Amino acid sequence: MENHKSNNKENITIVDISRKINQLPEAERNLLENGSVYVGLNAALCGLIANSLFRRILNVTKARIAAGLPMAGIPFLTTDLTYRCFVIWIVKPVP
């Protein structure tokens, strides 16, 4: 098995990304940091539309809220939390 120094290359890449993000103008940095909320809201809206269409096709008339919450909540949470974990764990700790 060969001995690779991949950790050093990964740290350099993370430092470079962090520096480039810090060099962005304030408006673009805010969009980068808060963009996951917009994508999550879009995913939630698409989930609600899909839920509505499926309910109409299947002629389901009861439990609208119980069926709609997972279709809106899960896409929003997974999109938003995944991105925020990436930003917090990888980009932010670098000075």
DSSP letters of 36-51?
Answer: HHHHHHHHHHHHHHHH
Give the model's pLDDT for residue 49: 92
Give the model's pLDDT for residue 10: 53
Domain that holds residue 83: 6-91
Whether 75 maps to a domain, the answer reads yes
What is the average pLDDT across 1-13?
A: 53
Whether 67 maps to a domain, the answer reads yes
Within 10 A of 26 (CB to CB), how many other CB atoms are there? 7
**What does the pLDDT look like over 38-93, one tens digit per residue?**
888 888 898 889 888 988 999 988 888 888 888 888 888 787 777 666 666 655 55
Whether 24 maps to a domain, the answer reads yes
Give the model's pLDDT for residue 11: 56
Whether 36 maps to a domain, the answer reads yes
Give the model's pLDDT for residue 57: 92
- Residue 81 in tokens: 């939390």
Whether 1 maps to a domain, the answer reads no
Give the model's pLDDT for residue 93: 53
Q: How many domains does the chain have?
A: 1
- Residue 72 in tokens: 């809106």
pTM for this predicted structure:
0.59
